[in-house]
Amino acid sequence: MRFAKGDSRHRHIKYPSGIVKNPLDSKAGHGFTGLSIFVKSGYPRQHMARREEKQIGETMRRCLTAALNALGTVSDRQLEIAGRRVGEIVTLKHRIESIALQKGYSRACRDAIPVCRGWCCKTHYHRQLSPLDFFLAAYQMSGEQQATLVRQIAAGGSSGCPLLLASGCMLTFEQRPVCCTAAYPCFMDRAYWLEKETIKKQIKPLFESLLIDTGLPNRAA
């Protein structure tokens, strides 16, 4: 996704201590320093094709079904081990988020939403989700919350991701997939990118262990 230089449809939001740079025209994390963003008016599309929305919802439904089946069939011992892995992943996610908070990225992201309309949440991250992402979320939910999640995905939505409500993501920070909570593609410098990737390398073996413990596929069937 690239915007033409000088495009009159750009809207520019500049934050304190930021420099003028289009992060979408750069390789993420390589040389981009500062809190600023260019957003092209009218982008993203206001409405996704109904067919595409249906495909997204169906893929997410299959992922969630696999996750709930795994939760219901693994042994108590496996569930205990899985719980420790989930706790470690949540701790590492908080480490990444603490860096983003210190740099001001979390607030900058929230402040940009009226203009960007949450493009990354609407059209990007949900395409990367796997059954394991839903296992991590469902593990931390009550039976009632799991049922609500099932209904929400079945109902779908016009936002692209059926979990994205008018008030924001229906999942808590702890429940959200790693790819949805540790990115900040519009607000990152090289130091943040490298530190984030270093921490994500610690998450990878935990994911791999969970795949073995739960017997879940790495992607939706």
The structural domains of the chain, with segments of one domain joined by +, span 48-214
Using omega within 30 degrees of 0 as the cis cutoff, is the peptide bond preceding 44 cis?
A: yes
Position 17 scores a pLDDT of 40
For 141, the token pair is 């939910």
Q: Is 71 helix (H, G, I), strand (E, B) or coil?
A: helix
Q: How far apart are CA 159 and CA 47, in angstroms?
A: 7
Position 79 scores a pLDDT of 92
For 70, the token pair is 């795994």
Q: List, for the chain, all residue ranges whose pLDDT scores fall below the cut of 70.
A: 1-50, 157-159, 220-221
Position 8 scores a pLDDT of 35
For 45, the token pair is 């599309």
Please identify which residue in the block is written with the tokens 């790495």: 218
36-40 and 10-14 as β-strands: parallel, antiparallel, unpaired? Answer: antiparallel
